[in-house]
Structure 1
Amino acid sequence: MRIERYLGLSAAARPDKTALVADRRRLDYREFDDLTDRLATTLATNGVKRGDRVLVFMDNCREAAVSIFTVLKAGAVFCLVNPSTKADKLAYIVADCEPAAVLTLARLMPVVSEALAGCDSVFVASTHGTDDAVPAGAVSLTACLAAEARPLAHGGTDSDLAMLVYTSGSTGRPKGVMMSHGNCDAAAGSITTYLQNTPDDIILNVLPLAFDYGLYQLLMAVRLGATLVLEKSFAFPQAIFERIREERVTGLPLVPTMAAMILRMRGLEPGFLPNLRYITNTAAALPPAHIERLRELFPGVRLYSMYGLTECKRCTYLPPEQLALRPGSVGIAIPGTEVMVLDGADRPVPPGIAGELVVRGPHVMQGYWRDAEATARVLRPGPDPGEKVLHTGDLFTRDAEGYLYFVGRRDDIIKTRGEKVAPKEVEAVLHRHPAIAEAVVVGVPDPILGQAVCAIVVSADPALAERDVIRHCARHLEDFMVPKLVEFRPALPKTDTGKVSRRLAAETVQAAP
C-alpha cells in the first residue's frame, strides 16, 4: 500500500478523531487530510512531480507531520533532515539528491539559504518569522496550507520510492537509504502487529522525526487511525511525564539515553504513568540492569527490547514475556521477515558462535541513492532467484532456541593482547554498578597491548573513583576484558538522534594527552 493512503483511509473512517497533538494544538484526521491536500496542490503547481525529492527540514512540529504526507500525495519522495544539521552537510544532501523543493521553518532559513546557494530552481516554503514576514527566498507555508486543493493523479505505485533517509555518516559522507512505499508498509505493518497496536493507542514521541524510529511513530499511528502526541525533546522529563498523564498516553518509544535519565530520577513511584501499556527501545540495546529497573518502575507495562537499522527499519524484537528469561537478547525476527547468523562463507553458525546478521524480507531497502558500489557491499544475492538480502555488518550470536544477542559492530571489536573484546559485554557489566549512570567502551592505541580497553563513564556518585570501576569489572570479567583506562565525563557524546557515539568517544580519548 502507498503510505499516503494511510491518511485518506483513517480520515474516512475516523474524521473527527484526534490524529496529532503538537505544540499544544490538536489536529483531527479530517483537518490533517485537508491540509495535506492543499499543500500537495501547491507543490504540484510549483513543478513537483512523481519521483522528485523534497527536503523536509523541520523539528517535531505539526508542519513536519503535514509535510511528510503532503510530499507523498504529490507522488514525490520525502527526505527528512535533522534541524540541527549545519549548512555544509545540508549542501551535500542537496547536491546528492537534487531536491525540487524544501519545506522548512523560519528560524532555519539562514541554513537553507546558505545550502541552496546557486540552486535558484528549488521551490522553498517556510513558516513565518516572529514578525509575520516570510523569510527572503521562500513563499509562505501558511499560505500554501490555506490554498485551494484540487485532485492529484500522480500514477504512483507501491514500488516507487517513498523516502530517502540519510545515514549518520560515521565514516565519510552520509548515504541516502532508499525505502519504497512497499518497504515502509511492510515495516509499519509488522511492527504494529507485534506491538498489538490499535486505533485506541495514544503514542507520545520525543524522538526526532528525522530519525526513522521517530518517523515510524507517525506512520504507524496514521496507519491505525491512532493518536500521536509529538514533543520536541526529553530534556525535561517531568514535563513529558505530565503530558503523558494529561493525554492518557499508552505507548512510549525510548532510546537508552532516555532510559538512563529516567532511572537517575528521584521520587518516581511504580505505576506513576497509569495509562501506559507498552514501552519500546531500539537504537542501541538496553543494558540488562536497566531492563530490570525499568520493569520494577513500570509494573504491568510491556517492555519491548528491539534491534534495527535504517537499511530495513527493524530486524528483531524480544516478546516481553521472554525478558526475565533472556534479558540480554534482542529477540527474534519481526513478523513476515527472516534473520540469519552467518560466517564469512555465508554458512549458518552454531549457537553461541558469533557471525554476521543477515536480513531477508519485504522491508529491506532498495539500496543507497546513487551509490551502486556501497549498495553491492551490503545487498547480496539471497536464497531465492533474484532476491537481495541485507548484510548488516553487525555481529550476533543465537541461542539454541534461536533468540539473538548483539555482540557489536564488526569494526567495534577491540583487539587487545591477541584477544577480542566486545565492548557491549564490558558495558553490560559497567551498567550493573549502581553508581554508573551511563558508560561506553572503546579501544585506544597501546604500544604493548595493540589496543587498550577504555571505559568512559558518567557517574551518578561523585565519590566513584577509577579503582572502584576497575575492581567492579575485575569481579565479573576475564582479565583481558577489564578496562585499563577509566575516564569520567559529565556526559557521553551523542548523535543527533540521542544515540551514544562510540566513534566520537574514541576520538576524544585518542586526542587526550
Structure 2
Amino acid sequence: MRLETRLWKTAKAFGPKDAVVSGEGRLTYAELDAGSDRLAATLLSLGINPGDRILMLLDNGCDAVLGFFGAWKAGAVPCPLHPTIKAEKLAAILESTGAAAIIAQNRLRGTVEAAIGTTPVRPRLMIAQAGYADLGEALSFEQAIATNGLTALPIFADPDALALIIHTSGSTGRPKGVMLSHGNVLAACEAIVTYLGNTTEDTVLSVLPLSFGYGITQMVTMAMTGGTLVLEKSFAFPRKILERLAEVKATGFPLVPPMAALITGMKDLTPGFLPHLRYITSAAAAMPPAIGQQLRYLFPDTRLYLMYGQTECLRSTYLAPEEAHLRPASVGKAIPGTQAFVVDEDGSPVLPGIIGELVVEGPHVMQGYWRDPLNSAQALSPAAAGRRLQTGDLFRMDEDCFLYFVSRRDDIIKTRGEKVSPQEVEAALYALPSIREAAVAGIDDPIFGQVVRAYVVLAEGVELGERDVIRHCAGLLEDYMVPKSVEFRAALPRTTTGKIRLGAEQDNPSNKGNAA
C-alpha cells in the first residue's frame, strides 16, 4: 500500500472530519483528498513524471500537507526543505536532485530564483500565498488546488517506490538525501500508531517542521487513523503553544528535549493543567532524566514516551511510559516489527553494559542515500526482513535488553585517556535546577588532548558562577568528566529541527547572534 491510498481510505471513512487545522485555516479529509487530487492533476499536466522530485519550501500549514499528498498522487517524490534554507544550499540540493518542480511560499521566491539562477536545472515553479503578485512564468498554488484537471488520476501500486527524500542537517558535512519508500514510511508509522494507540479521537498539535522526519510522521499517523493534526509554525512563544494545546483539547504533543526544558522552566504552571493531553512524545535528542521527571510532575495523567530515531529509519526505539520511572535514561526497545541491538566493531552483539554501535533492522530502514552509493553501502546491508542500518550512534544495553543512548560517535570527548559521553555530562548539568539549557563539547588541550567545556543558559533571575557549576558536577561525575570551564550564554544554537548543537550556526545562519 502507498501513502496516498491510506489518505483515500480515511477520507472515504471520515470525509467531514477535520484533517488539518492551521491558524484560521482548516481542511476536512474530503477537502484534503479533493484538493490533493487537483494538485496532482496540475502537476501531471505540467509534465511531471512518476519518480520526479519536487522540492517543497513551505511553512507548517494546510498548503504543506496538500503538497505532500498531491505529489504522491502524481507519483512524484516530495523533497521537503526547511523554509530558512539559504540559496547556496538550495542550489546544491536542486542540482543534486534534478528537481522537476519547486513549490514555495511567495516570501521565499527570491531565494528560490537565486538558487535556480546558479544551476543548469530549470524546474517548474509553483508559488503559494502570492495574493495579487505578478507570478510571471510561475504558477499559482492556490489555482492548482482549485482547478479541476484530469477526470481520473493514475493509480500507483508499488510500495517500494520512492516516497521521500529528506535531507539531513549536514552536521557531518554536505547534507545527504535519505531515500524512503512508501513502504518504509508506512512501516514506521504503523509501528508508531501501535504503541501510541492512535485513533480517530486523537488531536495532535505539532510545531515540528514538515521538513523533518519526526514532523512528517505526525502528518502520516493522523492521516492513517483519521485523527486531527493541528500545525503551528514554531515554538518561539511557548506560552502561546500551551494555550493552543488547551484551546484545541490536544490529546498528543510531540516535542524535543529543548522544548521540554522551556516548559518545565515555567514556575507558574499547575500540575495537570492540560487534562485532555493523553500523551507526550520526545525524540531527536536524549531527554535529560531531570527534565523527564519534571514533565511527569507537570503532566501526571499524561503518558510520556521517550523515543530514539534517525532520518534513515524515522523511528528506532521507544520506552513505554510505565518503564520511565525505572529507567529514566533509557530509550527503550525496538519499535514493533523491527529489531535494534548493539554490536562491536566486528558486528557481533555485545554483552550488557558494553558500549557499541546501535544497529537497526526492519522494513522501515531507508533505501539508501540519493546518488551516494559509497555512503549507502557503508550504512546498509541485507537483513532477514528489510535492511540493516549502521546508525553510527554509540549505545549500551542493560540486563533486561533496554537500550541507552551514549553519544553520536563523532561527539565522544577523549580526555586523559578516557572517553566522555557529552550526554552524561549534560544530564548532570540539567540536574542543577538553575540551568535551563546545557550543552557540552571537547576543547583541544595541549596536555590532555581535550578537556570538557560546558555551555549553559541559566533560568531567568538566577545568578550562578562557573565554580558553582563545576562543584555541582564534581558531586555527580567522575573527575575526568567534570567540565574544566563553563561558558554562560543567553541562548544555545539550534538546528532548524530544534536540536541544540554547538555547530548549528554553520548549518542555520539564522541562529547567528542568538548564542554569543
Question: TM-score w.r.t. structure 2 length?
Answer: 0.95
Q: In structure 2, what residue type is equivalent to 1:68?
A: F
SS of 2:503's partner is helix
Amino acid at match of 1:411: D
Could you report, residue by residue, the CA deviation over 1:367-424 in whole angstroms, capped at 9, with x for unpaired residues?
0000000111111244x4x963100010111111100011101111111111111111
Q: Which moved more, 1:156-165 or 1:119-128?
A: 119-128
- The answer for the alignment partner of 2:11 in structure 1 is 11
Q: CA deviation at 1:503?
A: 3.4
CA RMSD of aligned residues (A): 1.7
What is the match of residue 326 of structure 2?
325
Q: Do the aligned residues in 2 keep the contact of 1:128 with 1:135 (CA within 8 Å)?
A: no
Deviation (angstroms), 1:504: 4.3
Q: Provide the secondary structure at the position in 1 that maps to 2:475.
A: helix
Task: Describe the shift of the 1:387–1:218 C-alpha distance in structure 2 as closer, same or farther (beyond 3 A).
Answer: closer
Q: CA deviation at 1:241?
A: 1.7
> Are the equivalent residues in 2 in contact too, given 1:126–1:134 (CA < 8 A)?
no
1:49 and 1:154 in contact (8 A); partners too = no
Deviation for aligned residue 1:462:
3.8
Are residues 1:174 and 2:175 paired?
A: yes
Kindly provide the CA deviation profile for residues 20-41 of structure 1, in whole angstroms up to 9, marking residues without a partner as x. 1012222111111110011100
The separation in 1 between residues aligned to 2:464 and 2:130, in whole angstroms, is: 48
Describe the SS at the equivalent of 1:394.
Answer: strand
Deviations 1:474-509 (A, max 9, x none): 11111111111110011111101110114348999x
> 1:241–1:412: structure 2 CA closer, same or farther, 3 Å change rule?
same
Partner Cα distance (1:166, 1:312) in 2: 13
2-structure distance, mates of 1:404, 1:450: 30
**Equivalent-residue separation in structure 1 for 2:115 and 2:506 (angstroms):** 30
Work out the CA distance in 1 between the residues paired with 2:108 and 2:6.
29
Correspondence for 1:403: 402
Gaps of 5+ in 1: none
Q: How does 1:245-324 map to 2 (within 5 A)?
A: 245-324=246-325
The answer to whether the 8 Å contact 1:40/1:73 transfers is yes
Return closer, same or farther for 1:128/1:307 CA change in 2, 3 Å cut-off: closer
- CA distance 1:356–1:499, shift in 2 (3 Å): same
Which residue in 1 is equivalent to 2:144? 144
Cα pair 1:50 1:154 within 8 Å, conserved? no
Task: Say if 1:426 and 1:506 are closer, same or farther in 2 by CA, change over 3 A.
Answer: farther
Once residues 455 and 463 of structure 2 are traced to their aligned partners in structure 1, the CA distance between those partners, rounded to angstroms, is 16
Pair 312,120 (structure 1): closer, same or farther in 2 beyond 3 Å: closer
Partners of 1:48 and 1:423 in 2: how far apart?
A: 46
Q: Distance in 2 between matches of 1:156 and 1:108?
A: 34
The answer for the alignment partner of 1:103 in structure 2 is 103
Is the 1:368–1:375 Cα contact (8 Å) retained in structure 2?
yes
What fraction of aligned residue pairs are identical, expressed as a percent?
Answer: 52
Task: Find the residue that maps to 1:242 and give its secondary structure.
Answer: helix
Report the counterpart of residue 389 of structure 1 in structure 2.
Answer: 388
Distance apart, 1:154 and its partner CA: 5.0
5 Å-filtered alignment, 1:44-123, equals 44-117=44-117, 119=120, 121-123=122-124
Whole-Å Cα distance in 1 between the matches of residues 10 and 216 of structure 2?
18
Residues 387 and 125 (structure 1), Cα distance of their counterparts in 2 relative to 1, 3 Å cut:
closer
SS in 2 for 1:476: coil
CA distance in 2, matches of 1:280, 1:18: 22
- Alpha-carbon distance in 2 for matches of 1:262, 1:399: 30
Q: Secondary structure at the match of 1:442?
A: strand
- 1:242 to partner: Cα distance: 1.8
Cα distance, 1:68–1:37 mapped onto 2, change above 3 Å: same
Q: Which residue of 2 aligns with 1:186?
A: 187
Q: Which runs of 4+ in 1 moved over 3 A?
A: 118-121, 134-137, 502-508
Which residue of structure 1 lines up, in the alignment, with residue 378 of structure 2? 377
Structure 2, unaligned runs of 5 or more:
none
